[in-house]
A and B are shown apart, each in its own frame.
Chain A
Amino acid sequence: MTVRKNQATLSADEKRRFVNALLELKRSGRYDTFVTTHNAFIMSDTDNGDRVGHRSPSFLPWHRRFLIQFEEALRSVDPAVTLPYWDWTADRTSRSSLWAPDFLGGTGRARDGQVTDGPFARGGNRWTINVRVDGRDYLRRDLGAGGRQLPTRAEVESALAMETYDTAPWNSASDGFRNHLEGWRGVNLHNRVHVWVGGQMGTGASPNDPVFWLHHAFVDKLWADWQARHPRSTYLPAAGTANVVDLGDTMRPWNDVTPADMLDHTRHYTFDTAA
């Protein structure tokens, strides 16, 4: 059984193997197909039209399926690797070991945002940004720019306390746990972390930064935590909702998996702490 660990607890060897698997997926071109897939949904998910990956109830099951597929790709390179998660309520500064040169590398330089240390720096020539929205082909970050703060544990708790998974109109204006976690409303958890990292993470092509996977692995864990806390609450909507993925509807691009199929993460992996 795959166990997803808090990135702060990884050994030097675990970090090295995770990084090497990322670099191999990048070298082979498989990594960029994930960026392309994600971008297609970012661009087409709209509040009043079809919406699958974002700003909709299926935000959580869609990304769960997406991460499982990515984790499988990593494990095809090195079966010992699993997706670590970044608890940004605990590791909340640019001085965290997450951003050290032996792991993801640090923030970008002022002149052009370029990340200059670690395995994904342009100088290493192993992490060209191919799927991009502007002319810059190097990894960029601007950690905590403008004095922005990552969400606190108390803010996470306020979202976890919500009993209802999601509500009409099932988009970025919805009340409920999903939209507060996604961040279009209220305390703003997931969206704010994208903005805090900055660079590609703030754009529609956010998976270009490997921290995307550690961020979403934690968002995914928060969904599991919420489920454990609210055993009588379930995914909504149940059926018959226009433009939205109901509990038993299949999700693009796979077309063979439903939110119902994704509700129990323990069929695929567990976390290193009790949910």
Chain B
Amino acid sequence: MSSITRRRALGVAAGAAGAAAGLAAAGSATAAAPRATAPEAEPAPASFDEVYQGRRIKGGPSHGGDHHGGHHGGGYSVTIDGRELHVMRNADGTWISVINHYEPVATPRALARAAVRELQGAPLVPLTLA
């Protein structure tokens, strides 16, 4: 089955349903048990646009059209100097990227900053396939 199609659909829905679903989720936010619900149903984190260690990092809701990155981020995309940082949201609401893949952080902004530190000035490149 195509998970991509389904994820895109969720991403689109998240924008409209996010606020309402967020209120519903807030009631159970203190439960210790792992959540099985889609993280996309939680409210999207705040947008950001800043210069960090000399790199322009931006994050915010992604709008249809971007066909490569973003969809795993539940309708949220992050760029570094205008290039897409592939991001993914974990079931517990934390985030990882293709640069820091094994170390979740709390917000997309922290994720972008971690990637900038790791890149040490290097540009992101679209994955080059062998």
Contacts from A to B (Cβ < 8 Å):
29, 32-33, 35-36, 39, 42-44, 46-50, 55, 112-113, 130-136, 168-169, 171-175, 183-185, 191-192, 194-195, 202-206, 243
- Asked whether A46 lies within 8 Å of B72 as measured between CB atoms, the reply is yes
In the complex the two chains form, is A39's CB within 8 Å of B34's CB? no
Given contacts A35-B130, A202-B99, A204-B101, 7 further A-B contacts (CB under 8 A): A42-B98, A44-B4, A47-B39, A130-B128, A131-B130, A171-B91, A202-B102
Query: Min CB distance, B115 to chain A, in Å?
Result: 9
Question: What separation, in Å, do the CA atoms of A192 and B101 have in the docked complex?
Answer: 11
- Would you call B3 and A243 a contact (CB within 8 A)? yes
On whether A36 and B91 interact (CB within 8 A), knowing A133-B99, A134-B123, A135-B123, the answer reads no
B1 within 8 A of A: yes
B interface, by DSSP: helix, strand, loop or mixed? loop
Residues of chain B from 1 to 22 with CB closer than 8 A to chain A in the complex: 1, 3-4, 6-7, 10
Q: Are A132 and B98 in contact (CB under 8 A)?
A: no
Give bound CA distance, A195 to B35, whole Å. 25
25 contacts between A and B (CB under 8 A): A33-B130, A36-B129, A43-B98, A44-B3, A46-B3, A46-B7, A48-B40, A49-B7, A50-B1, A131-B130, A133-B98, A133-B99, A133-B125, A134-B123, A168-B36, A169-B91, A183-B102, A191-B102, A192-B102, A195-B103, A202-B99, A202-B103, A205-B98, A206-B102, A243-B1
Of the listed residues A29, A132, A172, the one surrounded by the most CB atoms of chain B closer than 10 A to its CB is: A172
Q: Smallest Cβ distance from A196 to chain B, in angstroms?
A: 10
Complex: chain A residue closest to B72, CB-CB: A46
- Determine the distance from Cα of A55 to Cα of B72 in the docked complex, in whole angstroms: 14
Could you say which of A36, A49, A174, A202 contacts B118, with CB atoms under 8 Å apart? A202
| Residues of chain A with a CB closer than 8 A to B99's CB | 133-134, 202-204
Say yes or no: is B124 at the interface (Cβ < 8 Å to chain A): yes
> What is the size category of the interface that chain B forms with chain A?
35 or more
Q: With the chains together, A204 CA to B97 CA distance in Å?
A: 8
Q: Tell me which residues across on chain A come within 8 A of B125, comparing CB atoms.
A: 132-135
Q: Which of B102, B119, B129 neighbours the largest number of chain A CB atoms within 10 Å of its CB? A: B102
Closest to B97 in A: A204
B62 within 8 A of A: no
8 Å CB contact of A194 from B4, B39, B101, B130: B101
Known A-B contacts A47-B90, A136-B122, A173-B92; the reply to A131 vs B34 at CB < 8 A is: no
For B102, the chain A residues whose CB sits under 8 A away are 183, 191-192, 194-195, 202, 206
Q: Are B86 and A43 in contact, with the CB atoms below 8 A?
A: yes
Q: Among A36, A50, A132, point to the contact of B3 (Cβ < 8 A).
A: A50
Which residues in chain B, 74-130, are within 8 Å of chain A measured between CB atoms? 86, 88-92, 98-104, 118-120, 122-125, 127-130
CA distance A205 to B101 in the complex (A): 9
Query: How distant is the Cα of A202 from the Cα of B72 in the complex, in angstroms?
Result: 19
